[in-house]
Homo-oligomer: A and B are copies of this chain.
Amino acid sequence: MRRAVRLPARTAARTFGTSRALRSASASSRSFYADEPPAPVLATASLPGPESKRHIEDLKSTFETRSLNMMVDYTRSAGNYIADPDGNMLLDVYAQIASIPVGYNNPALKRAAASPEMIDAIINRPALGNFPSHTWASILRSGILRAAPRGLDNVFTAMAGSDANELAYKAAFMYRRQQERGGRDVDFTPDEVESAMRNESPGSPQLSILSFKNGFHGRLFGSLSTTRSKPIHKLDIPAFDWPQATFPQCRYPLDEHAEENARAEKASLDEVDHLISNWRVPVAAVIVEPIQSEGGDNHASADFFRKLRALTRKRNVLLIVDEVQTGVGATGRFWAHDHWELDDAPDMVTFSKKAQTGGYYFRSRDLLPNKPYRQFNTWMGDPAKALLFRAIVDEVERLDLVANTARVGDYLYRRIEELAARHPDHFRNLRGKDRGTFIAFDSPKRDAFLVKAKAFGINIGGSGASAVRLRPMLTFQEHHADILVDALDKVAKSL
């Protein structure tokens, strides 16, 4: 099934991990896709190779390259493997910052992308609020809404994570003011109408969104006001005077520190409660990630989130769950908050990244503003991306990929536990148990760790101050896990 990787004639390939490629105990060691190489391919003596360097130099004059990690040849990338212009192919467990769901050049997505429906959507992009296609309802139902979290039957579509969150905030603020005003049918006062045009209250009210320290919710002005990940994300940008609560400072593994973690979680909930009651700008909603993903893969227990839901309900503020990075299958459930088994669904759940489109699911039509054109913009999403998400959902179902991440995640977690036992210094605070392949650990030499991994054939990312975060695609399997663990072992030995 597998074909050899085409290499530049001038370089000899070094491959890694082949000796262990068959080690996995699972039945699912055959790749989902035929054209993946059996193992990483290193075609140049060092990375980046000469062709990559040439392309990087060329791009410098036209685009931001200071954050460049790797120059990529997407046409030659395949499945879980990312290729560069020199013919190197790395096992990719970073996956475009967790945004590639089902592998590079996935044949099913290729068919969807080449379909007449897709071409139509690309070249005739509608202003969805005014001129929707007669096919839009069916595209939504068979795709975005088919994937809707339990209890959230409605969606407002957006383009990416930042605007998805900001549109959810807008919905929260409009809902809150509507409540304060006495219901959907109560009209705006002349004072509101007039002051809104001056950006002043009461028309532009003093209301806030509460977020958690180390949380990440995007980088536009409203979303950035809730983002508390790193100074470099926030410096020099004006922000709203919104409150932040401490995210539970848990120890890992969570279940082995249940008692002290429960204390940390209670302290966090108390702080949320206190801020809702006392912050100088009234709180309309709380936003939280199921796992703080940019902030260093910080976890809390399902119990914490259930109590947060109860608290927001009691305090009459909305709960927005940001599943931009955690959503679409990687945690062993389609949505990470499914792990909480809530009786009372969140009010809104935002999504993007692996969905390729974005938006917020919402629970009740009460969260629709009382008049049209209040939640509105020219495009309001993109049917082309919605079609792509539908194809992704189809592929997740066809290959049972949520079960795959759950099973492979368990396997991978156990194998990294073994590694951590051997190299306790390089694999600290292993976390993500029972959260599929959404696994992370801390490394004191994190940045060197990430660079070194490339030399052993792995593309891997960091987050927070010292975390190495694993964000493989949903098509990551046991034999990929073996290759990864083998390489991580070599990285640790080499540091």
Cβ-based interface call for A193 (8 A): yes
Cβ-based interface call for A120 (8 A): yes
A225 to B136, CA, bound (A): 31
A118 to B123, CA, bound (A): 12
Cβ-based interface call for A9 (8 A): no
Of B166, B203, B206, the contact of A221 (CB 8 Å cutoff):
B166
Contact in complex: A228, B197 (CB < 8 Å) = yes
Which chain B residue has the least Cβ–Cβ distance from A106? B123
Cβ-based interface call for A212 (8 A): no
Q: Contact string, A335-352, partner B, CB cutoff 8 A, digits 1/0?
A: 000000000000000000
Q: Which residues of B contact A378 (CB under 8 A)?
A: 96-97, 99, 160-161, 353
Binding-face segment, A67-75, A267-275, A424-432, A482-490: A67-75
Cβ-based interface call for A128 (8 A): yes
Contact in complex: A232, B96 (CB < 8 Å) = no
Contact in complex: B222, A85 (CB < 8 Å) = no
Contact in complex: A114, B120 (CB < 8 Å) = no
Contact in complex: B140, A125 (CB < 8 Å) = no
Question: How far apart are A231's CB and chain B's nearest CB, in angstroms?
Answer: 4
State the number of copies, please.
2
A372 to B234, CA, bound (A): 13
Could you give 15 example pairs across A and B, Cβ below 8 Å?
Answer: A62-B140, A66-B371, A67-B130, A69-B130, A72-B132, A74-B121, A96-B126, A96-B131, A99-B378, A104-B124, A105-B120, A159-B159, A177-B235, A199-B241, A208-B238
If A113-B119, A174-B237, A199-B240 are given as contacts, then 5 extra A-B residue pairs at C-beta distance below 8 Å, sorted by A number, are A63-B155, A64-B129, A64-B156, A69-B131, A192-B235
Q: Which residues of A pack against B, CB within 8 Å?
A: 51-52, 55, 58-59, 62-75, 77, 82, 84-85, 96-97, 99-100, 104-106, 109-110, 112-114, 118-134, 136-137, 140-141, 145, 154-156, 159-163, 166, 169-170, 173-174, 176-178, 188, 192-194, 196-200, 203-208, 213, 218-223, 225, 228, 231-242, 244, 353, 356, 368, 371-380, 384, 388
